[in-house]
Amino acid sequence: MKRLVINGYEANFFFNEEIANCKIAIWINDNLDSFNLNAKHNCEVSLVLFNKILIRGNEDRMEIDVKYVESLL
């Protein structure tokens, strides 16, 4: 399972481990309302490393790490 860590804080966004990180970046871009941004209309989402996604805009900047977590079940 994959979990998003936003600016160092674990978020309650989980993804199947088989989903590519570039598809997670697309999902983030399509769901910017979920990220509490000041000016989402001018934000750009980019996958900068294999497991790091950035949201950048005039008033916003978020660093999102994609972390692997183990399910206990």
Q: What pLDDT is attached to residue 50?
A: 86
d(CA 55, CA 68): 20
The tokens describing 3, both together, are: 């979990």
The pTM of the full predicted model, rounded to 2 decimals, is 0.90
d(CA 53, CA 20): 12
Q: What pLDDT is attached to residue 72?
A: 74
Q: What pLDDT is attached to residue 38?
A: 95
- The pLDDT tens digits of the residues spanning 1-59 come to 999 999 999 999 999 999 999 999 999 999 999 999 999 999 999 998 889 999 999 99
